[in-house]
Amino acid sequence: MNLTDRLRGARLVAALTGAGISTASGVPDYRGPDGVWTRDPGAMTAFTVENFMADAAVRRKFWRGWLGHAVWQAQPNAAHRALADLDRQGAAVRVLTQNVDGLHQRAGLAARKVLELHGTLRTTRCAGCPARFPTSEVLARVERGDDDPACPACAGILQPDIVLFGQLLDGDVLGRARRVAAASEVFLAVGSSLQVEPAASLCAVAARAGATLVVVNRDPTPYDAIAAFVLRDDIETVVPELCAAVTGTRLRPT
C-alpha cells in the first residue's frame, strides 16, 4: 500500500513538530548547518538549567539573545497552515510540538489541540515564587538595561516558560501526548532531529500502537528505521500534500 492510500481518510492525525517546521518562517533551528548551536556551540550552555540558575553571565547572554530575535516577528508558513486547515476540514488534528514559538496556534489551530512539550516563549515564570509575566515585559526591562531581570515580587530568577536541559517535561502534558500518539492513525514527525527525549519516543509509541509513522526531515533520524515512510522533501511543500492526501485530494506519486 502506498503513502497516499495509507493516509486517505485518517480520522486522527498527530504531528510531532520540531524546529525544522518553523525555519521557513524565519525562525532559526538549533542543530542544522546554520543552526544557533552550530554557529555558536557555547550558546547551548545557556539552555542548561544548572548553568542558567548558577551564573548571572549566562543569564545575561541568554536574555540578550532573545532581543530582536526572529521568533517575535515570525508568521506561520504553509506547513503550519496546512495542519490547521486539515483540522478545519474534519480530521482530528493534534500537534505535539517541541517548538516554543506558538506558530501552530497563530495558524489557527485551537490551543487545546496543541501540546507544547517544551513550553512557550510567550510567558516567563519566577523560579522562586508562582509569579508569571509576559516575556515581552521582561525583554522590555532588558532593553532598558536590566540585563539579568529579577522577579519584581520576590527577587527570584526569571526563566521563560521553556524546558531547559536538565529540567523535566510537564508530566501531565507528556502523558496527554503519549495518549494522543497511541490513539493516532497517522503520526507525522516533521522537522525534528528526533534526538531529544522523551519527546522523540512518541514516534515509537505511535508505531507500536499501529499508526502509520511518517518522518519528514532533511537529515536522518534515530527513528527512520521504524517509520513506514521517510521523506526528505521540503517541509513547506510536503506537509500540505500529506494533509491533502488525508482528505483524498492530491499528493505527488509515491
Separation of CA 196 from chain center: 11
Q: What is the CATH number of domain 31-73+122-162?
A: 3.30.1600.10
Ramachandran quadrant class, 191 (left: phi over 0; alpha: psi -120 to 50; beta: rest): left
3-27+76-118+168-246 and 31-73+122-162: identical CATH topology: no
What residue ranges do the domains of the chain occupy?
3-27+76-118+168-246, 31-73+122-162
Query: Does domain 3-27+76-118+168-246 fall into CATH 3.40.50.1220?
Result: yes
Cite the active site residues. 118
Instruction: Please list the pLDDT of the chain residue by residue as tens digits (254 residues).
Output: 689 999 999 999 999 999 999 999 999 876 655 555 556 656 666 789 999 999 999 999 999 989 989 999 999 999 999 999 999 999 999 999 999 999 999 999 999 999 999 999 999 999 999 999 999 999 999 999 999 999 999 999 999 999 998 999 999 999 999 999 999 999 999 999 999 999 999 999 999 999 999 999 999 999 999 999 999 999 999 999 999 999 987 544 33
Euclidean distance between CA atoms 51 and 204, whole angstroms: 32
φ, ψ at 157 (rounded to 5°) = -75, 135
In whole angstroms, how large is the CA radius of gyration of the chain? 19
Q: Order across the sheet with 212-216: list the strands.
A: 114-116, 92-97, 12-17, 186-190, 212-216, 229-231
Does the pTM of the predicted model rise above 0.75? yes
* CB burial string 149-161: b at 16+ within 10 A, e below: bebeeeeebbbbb
- Would you state the cell numbers that stand for residue 223, as one nine-digit string? 527513528
